[in-house]
């Protein structure tokens, strides 16, 4: 049984069981199977001759899941795009992927309402080596890049997590914090759907309103918590965020950025019946490739915390500067090989050739992450390039810079991360203007932010702009990022 059949099987076994809860809206397994089949039948009629990706733009609506499954049942991968993405960036994503159609929750609901009960022909489904989803991440030149993930990649990830996490079928409720456009959401969404669980979404308005968020969490009854460490850290500010609020939670699964020991320790303290897991991996290798349980002993033994052991069907190695496998404890670039490695970036053979290669006869990916092994455990030590993680969001500083430099009136721009208490806090831009107009720096900053918001998601917009007449230079004539960073300290 492949993943799609497995999800449909829950619709036969337990059609009334809740597959998704999003605010006051619910979706049962029966509804999910019927409606995604109806959408797939419609797609097969609307696009009979191609298997092009289908863009799906929305937020946490049940129609998002219907659209994802509807697409793959008709043989199309889907591209999840969050509703907060500005139209100019959506256009670039759609153009790069040559997506013939962008579905919204309203459109999905209308199609499903009209379509009736026609079931799609199963032979059209996405097969193992076909693309299943394409997630766009920040690209260093200002163009988002689309990571292609096949059904086989996703299956390799899920089979590993299912074997390791010992979830109880039809009994789990998974917290869905990350937007569907971020591959962390794949962890909660498909672990839940594969095990007949319930996916409980919290949305951006919940996250922006603490009282509402804690009400939603109390109401969730979650047993498996999936989020970025930043999100858990934010929740920990609330004293009542504990087993009293979430009495059924048994697992905290983290991925996407550094898990601070203080966060893990506080969670173990406040949720004595729950396990805390750190998992690591880029979108290009399907959510996560390594994992480790962080218990009291791991906390006392290691600083920083390890990111884990490789999943059994994959190889994770650290390569030194000469491309040789580094010895234990030696620092180098983390390389991941295995069936979970993406075939590459859509429509970008140039970027694909740079990052992907073959190792041990398996597809492999240069993560750009520094790391080392100790006692068989992988440790993460930062990036070799200008990619950063800000509150869980993956951002190429070059992406922000390219979009800043393209604005009229801007002669040059450098974007850096401002740190606070040792952790990334916000983006700061250094700008050289073509000419200093009569406007105040406050007004110019506001105008630049507004212009950038037309092109970039809100989390990629610098919080503060510093105006200079020239940048400090390095010996070889580049803007001296180190000196600029010192100006932020």
Of 161-169, 279-287, 317-325, 472-480, which part binds ligand AMP (CB under 6 A)?
279-287
Question: What residues have CB less than 8 Å from 133, skipping those under 6 apart?
Answer: 68, 77, 78, 79, 80, 149, 154, 186
* 3-class secondary-structure state, position 82: strand
State the minimum distance, in angstroms, from the CB of residue 131 to ligand AMP: 17
Q: Give the separation between CA 193 and CA 347, rounded to whole angstroms.
A: 30
Report the DSSP pairing between strands 332-337 and 344-345. Answer: unpaired
Among 20, 124, 145, 389, which residue interacts with ligand AMP (rule: CB under 6 A)?
A: 389
* 3-class secondary-structure state, position 86: coil
Determine if 379 is a binding residue for ligand AMP (CB under 6 A).
no
Determine if 342 is a binding residue for ligand AMP (CB under 6 A).
no
Number of residues counted as binding ligand AMP (CB under 6 A): 18
Determine if 380 is a binding residue for ligand AMP (CB under 6 A).
yes
Q: Burial letters for 404-439: b for 16+ Cβ neighbours within 10 Å, e otherwise?
A: bbebeebebbbbbbbeeeebbebbbbbbbbeeeeee
Contact 390, 417 (CB under 8 A): yes
Q: Pick the closer one to ligand AMP by CB: 282 or 363.
A: 282
Q: Pick the closer one to ligand AMP by CB: 14 or 268.
A: 268
Determine if 120 is a binding residue for ligand AMP (CB under 6 A).
no
**End-to-end CA separation in angstroms for the chain:** 55
Determine if 8 is a binding residue for ligand AMP (CB under 6 A).
no
- Residues 390-409 within binding reach of ligand AMP (CB under 6 A): 394
State the minimum distance, in angstroms, from the CB of residue 284 to ligand AMP: 7
Determine if 257 is a binding residue for ligand AMP (CB under 6 A).
yes
For tokens 């240069």, the residue is 366
Determine if 29 is a binding residue for ligand AMP (CB under 6 A).
no
Q: Pick the closer one to ligand AMP by CB: 34 or 394.
A: 394
Beta bridge partners of 291: 279, 309
Of 11-19, 56-64, 278-286, 344-352, which part binds ligand AMP (CB under 6 A)?
278-286
Of 42-50, 264-272, 275-283, 443-451, which part binds ligand AMP (CB under 6 A)?
275-283
Return the DSSP state at 325: B
Determine if 183 is a binding residue for ligand AMP (CB under 6 A).
yes
Among 185, 198, 233, 258, which residue interacts with ligand AMP (rule: CB under 6 A)?
A: 258
For tokens 């997630």, the residue is 135
Question: What residues have CB less than 8 Å from 279, skipping those under 6 apart?
Answer: 187, 253, 254, 255, 287, 288, 290, 291, 292, 307, 308
Beta bridge partners of 226: 253
* 3-class secondary-structure state, position 335: strand
Determine if 181 is a binding residue for ligand AMP (CB under 6 A).
no
State the minimum distance, in angstroms, from the CB of residue 87 to ligand AMP: 23
Q: Pick the closer one to ligand AMP by CB: 8 or 369.
A: 369
**Cα Rg of the chain (Å, integer):** 23
Determine if 367 is a binding residue for ligand AMP (CB under 6 A).
yes
Among 369, 396, 399, 401, which residue interacts with ligand AMP (rule: CB under 6 A)?
A: 369
Among 72, 153, 213, 307, which residue interacts with ligand AMP (rule: CB under 6 A)?
A: 307
Contact 66, 75 (CB under 8 A): no
Q: Burial letters for 472-484: b for 16+ Cβ neighbours within 10 Å, e otherwise?
A: eeeeeeebebeeb
Among 53, 70, 256, 363, which residue interacts with ligand AMP (rule: CB under 6 A)?
A: 256
Q: Which residues bind ligand AMP (CB under 6 A)?
A: 137, 183, 255-259, 278, 280, 282-283, 307, 367, 369, 380, 383, 389, 394
């Amino acid at each position: 049984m492949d993943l799609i059949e497995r999800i449909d099987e829950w619709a036969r076994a337990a059609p009334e069981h809740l597959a998704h809860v999003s605010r006051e809206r619910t979706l049962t397994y029966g509804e999910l199977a019927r409606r995604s089949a109806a959408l797939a039948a419609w797609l097969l009629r609307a696009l009979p001759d191609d298997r092009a990706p289908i863009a799906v733009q929305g937020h946490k609506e049940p129609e998002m899941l219907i659209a994802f499954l509807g697409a793959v049942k008709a043989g199309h991968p889907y591209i999840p795009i969050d509703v907060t993405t500005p139209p100019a960036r959506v256009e670039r994503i759609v153009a790069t992927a040559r997506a013939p159609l962008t579905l919204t929750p309203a459109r999905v609901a209308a199609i499903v309402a009209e379509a009736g009960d026609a079931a799609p022909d199963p032979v059209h489904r996405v097969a193992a080596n076909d693309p299943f989803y394409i997630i766009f991440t920040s690209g260093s030149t200002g163009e988002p890049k689309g990571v292609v993930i096949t059904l086989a990649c996703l299956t390799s990830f899920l089979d590993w997590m299912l074997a390791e996490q010992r979830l109880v079928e039809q009994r789990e409720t998974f917290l869905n914090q990350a937007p569907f456009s971020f591959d962390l959401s794949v962890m909660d969404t498909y672990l839940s759907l594969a095990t007949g669980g319930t996916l409980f979404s919290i949305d951006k308005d919940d996250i922006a309103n603490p009282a509402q968020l804690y009400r939603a969490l109390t109401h969730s009854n979650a047993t498996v918590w999936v989020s970025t460490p930043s999100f858990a850290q934010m929740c920990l500010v609330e004293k009542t965020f504990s087993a009293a609020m979430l009495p059924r939670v048994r697992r905290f699964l983290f991925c996407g950025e550094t898990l601070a020991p203080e966060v893990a320790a506080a969670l173990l303290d406040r949720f004595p019946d729950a396990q805390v897991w750190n998992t690591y991996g880029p979108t290009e290798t399907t959510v996560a490739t390594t994992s480790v349980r962080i218990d009291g002993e791991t906390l006392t033994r290691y600083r920083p915390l390890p990111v884990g052991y490789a999943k059994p069907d994959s190889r994770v190695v650290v390569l030194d500067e000469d491309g040789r496998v580094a010895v234990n404890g030696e620092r180098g670039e983390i390389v991941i090989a295995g069936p979970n490695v993406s075939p590459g970036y859509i429509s970008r053979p140039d970027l694909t050739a740079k990052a992907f290669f073959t190792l041990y006869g398996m597809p492999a990916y240069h993560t750009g992450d520094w790391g080392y092994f100790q006692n068989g455990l992988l440790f993460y030590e930062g990036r070799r390039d200008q990619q950063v993680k800000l509150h869980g969001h993956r951002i190429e500083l070059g992406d922000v810079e390219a979009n800043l430099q393209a604005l009229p009136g801007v002669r040059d721009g450098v974007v850096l991360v401002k740190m606070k208490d040792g952790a990334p806090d916000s983006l700061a831009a250094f700008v050289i203007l073509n000419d200093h107009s009569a406007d105040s720096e406050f007004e110019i900053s506001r105008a630049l932010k507004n212009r950038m918001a037309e092109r970039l998601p809100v989390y990629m917009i610098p919080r503060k702009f510093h105006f200079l007449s020239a940048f400090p230079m390095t010996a070889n004539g580049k803007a001296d990022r180190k000196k600029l960073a010192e100006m932020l300290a």
